[in-house]
Chains A and B, each alone.
Chain A
């Protein structure tokens, strides 16, 4: 996995609660056998009309969204299906962090394994972010700190091991494989 230490970017604001992973990446795009290229299908049914034309009023289609790597969304982001295609699509599109007041468990775990940082903030910080689309924010994985455009900061929780893997580019699969002795010992004593 690539190292992730910090992200500096403008935000895109999607002020919708309970954004589920079917919206993030509809099921018809899950027939892929690789994880590359899903960004073109991100939020497909919100972004594009049936004929493929971009919907002008969707936030990602607006010029101000271009190049933004941080998505600020409503409460309970990423609920629903466990499809890891959801963080793959967000990452492939260009996002590197999601900020919300709550993030669904499976989506949060999947995101951390793909260098997409899930950031949970309190209602007051969230309100500031929702009110300032396009503002620049800074995310420090090492300090677990989000810095807003006005200089205020918010600390966010992150699993210590996931943080270690992000900062050091450690692959969790390789870590687990290295635990062979403990796994074998467990199997032997059953």
Chain B
């Protein structure tokens, strides 16, 4: 128990302090212990190779969970259930992960198994993502897990090798940025729209050097899946991580999950988790406020996630040559409205928006309607578990009856490593997290939006405000 006179701490500081293997010295950064290391096939092969070269074991295999997601095909399985042939490079990478997990004793949810899915989807599903934890992965959207009140951030492959070998990382502390959102999101305005508005406000470098804590009544009202959408995109504002304090919503989501504590251990865990929220009077290095009541459905028009505007707005005048270059790439003119813009492809998926509530939202718009002529629609559930749950509710039939493709779980068109990609010049409305040049395929042009906006575009063939659909 902390003495009453101790300095009030933010949630970030509490988690930091609780994980100090060694405090910082004038010459060395702090060493932090990692509770959970998530691993996937793209950023791990070299790390395992370095461990082998140095004859090192994985220190805590039991704190390591691996899956395959970035380069795995999402092509629907035939009746024989066979997984389509991967290209050689992807096959090599996947075989490397299989061998590495087998040799080092790491739990692997492999392609073709029921536990496979996008790494930031399966962690929470399993209940391994827990409040107060430090969670890392060789992937910048690791920030997703901050929705549980964890300190979760992306690392590079060198740091992956550090965590594999020592379950620890050298870290310098981040500054803290409180983003407070009060009020209530209006109907048709989603968590995705909220976070796009935050990034538009902060700018894509605005959070650099900071960890964001999302606070306020509009945040408290979000479900866990909505909180994951918000925390997921924290990196797009340049922030190291994004966090939301745990509360009854968090505990209700976690209770009974396969790897959540049980019985007396559960009660003890919840008691500890209740101490995590930032103390009254804790000081943040920076503060920003948004009013949820004023938010609209958002869409990006440019080539970074910060270039987002309300869907009814017109493309802004470029303020510098970089912005002008973005408009040229997107084939857009300043002052042009976005509503009504032609769309070639709609992608509903990614670690941002591929959970059951996202699929239900999209299905709600597409039910009884048909995909517009000339539009290709891919719906990619975030995990095999979500796929099964969606099918049990008949969501797959809604998508297929409309003329959309119902796919296997994976990162798919968010990162375009598997053949799920745009052709040069194609326009896509995508529920993913990045609209960089060529992100979804060389020459592809991405509009980022919510599942509602994406589903509306699917059935009209143009950028559409879903609230206007009759």
Residue of A nearest to B71 (CB): A31
- Chain B residues 422 to 467 lying within 8 A of chain A, measured CB to CB, are 424, 434, 436-439, 442-443
Determine if B158 and A114 form an interchain contact, defined as CB atoms under 8 angstroms apart. Answer: yes
Tell me which of B45, B96, B416 contacts A28 (CB under 8 A): B416
A138 CB-CB contact with B under 8 Å: no
Whole-angstrom CA separation of A4 from B278 in the bound complex: 42
Tell me which of A22, A102, A180 contacts B436 (CB under 8 A): A22
A50 CB-CB contact with B under 8 Å: yes
A53 CB-CB contact with B under 8 Å: no
What residues of chain A lie closer than 8 Å to B46, measured between beta carbons? 33-35
Determine if A27 and B166 form an interchain contact, defined as CB atoms under 8 angstroms apart. Answer: no
Residue of A nearest to B20 (CB): A186
What residues of chain B lie closer than 8 Å to A27, measured between beta carbons? 70, 415-417, 439
Assess A176 versus B165: contact at CB under 8 Å? Given A27-B417, A114-B158.
yes
Interface flags for B17-48 (1: CB within 8 Å of A; 0: not) read: 00011100011110101000000001101100
Closest chain B CB from A129 CB (angstroms): 17
- Chain A residues 101 to 116 lying within 8 A of chain B, measured CB to CB, are 102, 104-106, 109-110, 113-114
What residues of chain A lie closer than 8 Å to B42, measured between beta carbons? 30-31, 83
Closest chain B CB from A13 CB (angstroms): 13
A61 CB-CB contact with B under 8 Å: no
Whole-angstrom CA separation of A81 from B14 in the bound complex: 27
Residue of A nearest to B155 (CB): A82
What residues of chain A lie closer than 8 Å to B438, measured between beta carbons? 22-23, 26, 45
Interface size on A, residues (CB 8 A): 53
Determine if A31 and B93 form an interchain contact, defined as CB atoms under 8 angstroms apart. Answer: yes
Q: Which of B183-191, B215-223, B319-327 contacts A (4 or more CB under 8 A)?
A: B319-327
A160 CB-CB contact with B under 8 Å: yes
Determine if B31 and A179 form an interchain contact, defined as CB atoms under 8 angstroms apart. Answer: yes
Q: Which of B204-212, B248-256, B344-352, B357-365 contacts A (4 or more CB under 8 A)?
A: B204-212
A122 CB-CB contact with B under 8 Å: no
A177 CB-CB contact with B under 8 Å: yes
Tell me which of B31, B321, B415 contacts A176 (CB under 8 A): B31
A79 CB-CB contact with B under 8 Å: yes
A76 CB-CB contact with B under 8 Å: yes
What residues of chain A lie closer than 8 Å to B157, measured between beta carbons? 35, 84-85
Residue of A nearest to B171 (CB): A109
Whole-angstrom CA separation of A164 from B26 in the bound complex: 12
Determine if B92 and A173 form an interchain contact, defined as CB atoms under 8 angstroms apart. Answer: no
- Chain B residues 397 to 421 lying within 8 A of chain A, measured CB to CB, are 415-417
Determine if B89 and A106 form an interchain contact, defined as CB atoms under 8 angstroms apart. Answer: no
Tell me which of B27, B56, B415 contacts A160 (CB under 8 A): B27
Assess A84 versus B415: contact at CB under 8 Å? Given A102-B205, A161-B170.
no
Interface flags for A157-172 (1: CB within 8 Å of B; 0: not) read: 0011100100000001
Residue of A nearest to B157 (CB): A84
Tell me which of A45, A102, A106, A113 contacts B442 (CB under 8 A): A45
Determine if B424 and A179 form an interchain contact, defined as CB atoms under 8 angstroms apart. Answer: no
Determine if B439 and A104 form an interchain contact, defined as CB atoms under 8 angstroms apart. Answer: no
Tell me which of A81, A173, A177, A186 contacts B33 (CB under 8 A): A186
What residues of chain B lie closer than 8 Å to A176, measured between beta carbons? 31, 162, 165-166, 168-170
Whole-angstrom CA separation of A32 from B96 in the bound complex: 11
Assess A173 versus B50: contact at CB under 8 Å? Given A82-B156, A109-B159, A183-B167.
yes
B304 CB-CB contact with A under 8 Å: yes
Determine if A104 and B208 form an interchain contact, defined as CB atoms under 8 angstroms apart. Answer: yes
Whole-angstrom CA separation of A82 from B28 in the bound complex: 23
A74 CB-CB contact with B under 8 Å: yes
- Chain A residues 32 to 53 lying within 8 A of chain B, measured CB to CB, are 32-35, 45, 50
Assess A113 versus B156: contact at CB under 8 Å? Given A80-B140, A160-B26.
yes
Closest chain A CB from B212 CB (angstroms): 13
B120 CB-CB contact with A under 8 Å: no
Whole-angstrom CA separation of A183 from B49 in the bound complex: 23
A124 CB-CB contact with B under 8 Å: no
What residues of chain A lie closer than 8 Å to B320, measured between beta carbons? 17
Determine if A16 and B325 form an interchain contact, defined as CB atoms under 8 angstroms apart. Answer: yes
A131 CB-CB contact with B under 8 Å: no
B138 CB-CB contact with A under 8 Å: yes
What residues of chain A lie closer than 8 Å to B174, measured between beta carbons? 105
Residue of B nearest to A114 (CB): B158
Whole-angstrom CA separation of A82 from B415 in the bound complex: 13
Tell me which of A28, A31, A79 contacts B205 (CB under 8 A): A79
- The 3 A-B pairs with the shortest beta carbon distances in the complex, nearest first, are A84-B156, A31-B89, A76-B205
- Could you tell me which B residues sit within 8 Å of A by CB distance? 20-22, 26-29, 31, 33, 42-43, 45-46, 49-50, 54, 56, 59, 70-71, 87, 89-90, 92-93, 96, 138-140, 154-159, 161-162, 165-170, 172, 174, 204-205, 208-209, 235-236, 238, 240, 304, 320-322, 325, 415-417, 424, 434, 436-439, 442-443
- Interface contacts beyond A27-B416, A176-B165: sample of 5 additional A-B pairs, CB < 8 Å, sorted by A: A32-B89, A80-B235, A82-B140, A113-B159, A160-B26
Can you offer 22 A-B residue contacts whose CB atoms are under 8 A? Answer: A16-B322, A18-B204, A18-B205, A18-B322, A20-B304, A34-B49, A76-B205, A79-B238, A80-B235, A80-B236, A102-B205, A102-B208, A109-B155, A109-B159, A113-B159, A161-B27, A173-B50, A173-B54, A173-B166, A176-B166, A177-B54, A183-B31
